[in-house]
Amino acid sequence: MSVQHDVRNFTQEAFTRWLEDHNVAAYRADQILRWVYHRNICSFSHMTDLSKDLREWLFGQLVISRLEPTQVLGSVDGSKKYLFRLEDGHHIESVLIPERNHWTLCVSSQVGCAMGCKFCLTGRSGLLRDLEPAEIVNQVCAVKDDLPHGKPLTNIVFMGMGEPLANYDSVIQAIGTITGNNGLQFSNRRITVSTAGLAPRIEDLGRDITVNLAVSLNAADNKTRNRLMPINRTYPMEELLSACGRFPLLSRRRITFEYVLMAGVNDRPEDAKRLAKILRPLRAKINLIPFNPFEGTPFKTPSEAAICAFQKILLDRHYTAIIRRSKGEDIHAACGQLRARKALGMVPPQRGRQAGA
């Protein structure tokens, strides 16, 4: 029995070649992909500009995958968290974040994560596997279907479960589909890829595709970062920041450095001053993220006074430094929390909506 290929796992070029190899005209690729991505049609029987014989043949050769959330939780602040069950039984999460006039979607790129960051719940379970391009794209498609009327999904951030640059090929292909004319037609300027610090891949990313870059930094010296983020022992801060300096930036764009503030660990005034110094050669902006506690963590959220003092030091040195307050705390929106609760049997298996979803 032949294996059925997933249309969403093809690039447009590869799909065109596949059809031609099976004696189907190349232009059919454009038709099919527009049905799949522009109209969100997942059945060949509904593709009325294809002949009946072709539709029947395609049905026997290809599948068009989709993700259905097993759980959707709505927060009082408007954010929504989606738990998706994959075909092999694993679960991933996506988070929809309300902005002033639009929505931002945070997507996952792996099941689990191998980076082992000490302040991140996802890393505690280790890496189970990479996501396929279709599984990344399908998060976007599923959430677009669930958007409230009037606020479009315009921004996508690869800041969910996993290290995007460790699943490099699939992430690049998924972005190509998300931004492609026969794909989901998102602007490259609205796509952000975050990394824990895979320095060589930062240069690859800048060469292979145009997106925004975010770096999860979280410390201003190697000793502290080694403690928080094991990847720093392989690619220390000097190497990481050097790679950032070579990353091509669009006009008036800057690299976003994410800095999770943890009380007594990296939130002192001297940490802020050191951070301002090491980022000076770069076009940088800084997102300050007060730590979002989870069960069993040794880290604590700093006081409001410490958070504001840290920000002021950066502002006084002419940085854009924004305090990013956690959203969706009532729905466990931090990475890995909902999936972990599912694994522990703390989330009901049926689709559920709570807190005004």
Candidate list 93, 132, 135, 258, residue with the active-site label: 93
Separation between Cα atoms, residue 267 and residue 254, nearest integer Å = 23
Catalytic annotation present for 329: no
DSSP-assigned letter for residue 34:
I
Separation between Cα atoms, residue 227 and residue 234, nearest integer Å = 13
| Number of neighbouring beta carbons within 10 Å of residue 1 | 3
DSSP-assigned letter for residue 50:
S
Which residue stretches of 146-268 are H helix? Answer: 168-179, 199-208, 222-228, 231-234, 237-245
CA nearest to 284, candidates 321, 309, 246: 321
**Structural tokens at position 122:** 């996802």
DSSP character string of 51-114? -HHHHHHHHHHEE-----EEEEEE-TTS-EEEEEE-TTS-EEEEEEEE-SSSEEEE---EEE-S
Catalytic annotation present for 87: no
Candidate list 113, 141, 244, 335, residue with the active-site label: 335
- Residue 3 carries which side chain, given as an amino acid letter? V
Catalytic residues: 93, 335
